[in-house]
Amino acid sequence: MINIIHTKSEMQAEVARWRDAGLSVALVPTMGSLHEGHLSLVQQAALQADRVVVSIYVNPSQFAENEDFDKYPRTLDDDVKKLEKTGQCHAVYAPSSMYDDQHSTMVVPAGAADGLESLTRPHFFTGVATIVLKLFQHVPAHIALFGEKDFQQLSVVRQMTQNLDLQIEIIGAATVRDTHGLAVSSRNHYLSADQLSIAPQLYQQLCIIAQRITQGDAQERVIADAQHALLNAGFDEVDYLEICDAVTLKPAQNNRQGPIRILAAVRLGKTRLIDNIALDQSDTLA
């Protein structure tokens, strides 16, 4: 049976007991509604640590007023069942709230947080960085795992960990895709059958971009063609489609050096999908 912990003091005490016994601890931060992507993080966490904690908390500070905070699926009982089936999760941390009424301090990241997601969701990384820092205090683990699907989030968390000298190692894990290539995401549940047939074309276009850039085609032409192809395929809007330095997330130059990441956010009806791939699939930042 997985231990379900609701309070900071109990969570910290449990981790302290494990650490005192010489056990290593991994944290997998989530907002619940667990899918294959989360379960693969748990699996990788279990390979790298003796104890695995999955946190489940829908963080209000990373949602803007017009976003889906109220609608976001809350499925704790199902999530715990899925985690129990893995046999690899030792505790679920499910606090009822992470902010008291007097909460007034936020972490405001720049650098990797600039551009891309922040163009349309300027509040987002402040909310993410603040909650992740708090989670690291509540679950003082040795390592924390984040999916590469949210590549900018992973970069922001790495940057914060380094900049603020946090005593935790950040591990990035490859995106899990369905058989059509669509990156697995909690928000895929919002897609209709028609939209589900369009959605995998986002990944296909990212692969075409990577192939053409590798062949030496000019970035501007390749991006313009891919944008056109996405709109033709039925996506309603392309929020961004960019070729970036994989570490700084600044736009990559045509005479690029070092690892490159291609990142995109698109809208399909009311649903916003994000995805990204490495230009060279052998580039992993884990």
Active-site residue set: 38
Nearer to ligand PAF, 128 or 176 (CB): 128
Binding flag, residue 150, ligand PAF (CB under 6 A): yes
Site string for ligand PAF, 97-136 (x = CB under 6 A): -------------------------------x--xx----
Q: Which segment (23-31, 84-92, 241-249, 263-271) binds ligand PAF by CB under 6 A?
A: 23-31
What does the block give as tokens for 272?
Answer: 């916003």
- Judge contact between 198 and 235, C-beta under 8 A: yes
Q: In whole angstroms, how close is the CB of 242 to ligand PAF at the nearest point? A: 20
DSSP of 254-266? TT--S-EEEEEEE
> Within a 13 Å sphere around the CA of 13, how many CA atoms are in the beta-carbon half?
7
> Within a 13 Å sphere around the CA of 257, how many CA atoms are in the beta-carbon half?
0
Q: In whole angstroms, how close is the CB of 243 to ligand PAF at the nearest point? A: 23
Three-class secondary structure of residue 141 per DSSP: coil
Task: Please list every residue from 38 through 77 that binds ligand PAF, using CB under 6 A.
Answer: 59, 62
Binding flag, residue 148, ligand PAF (CB under 6 A): no
Q: How far is CA 241 from CA 109, 116, 204, 221, in A?
A: 22, 8, 13, 12
User: Which H or E element spans position 26?
Assistant: strand 25-30
**34/167 Cα distance (integer angstroms):** 27
Q: In whole angstroms, how close is the CB of 132 to ligand PAF at the nearest point? A: 6
Q: In whole angstroms, how close is the CB of 123 to ligand PAF at the nearest point? A: 12
Task: Please list every residue from 184 through 243 that binds ligand PAF, using CB under 6 A.
Answer: none
Which of 26, 29, 117, 243 binds ligand PAF (CB under 6 A)? It is 29
Binding site for ligand PAF (CB under 6 A): 29-31, 59, 62, 128, 131-132, 150, 153
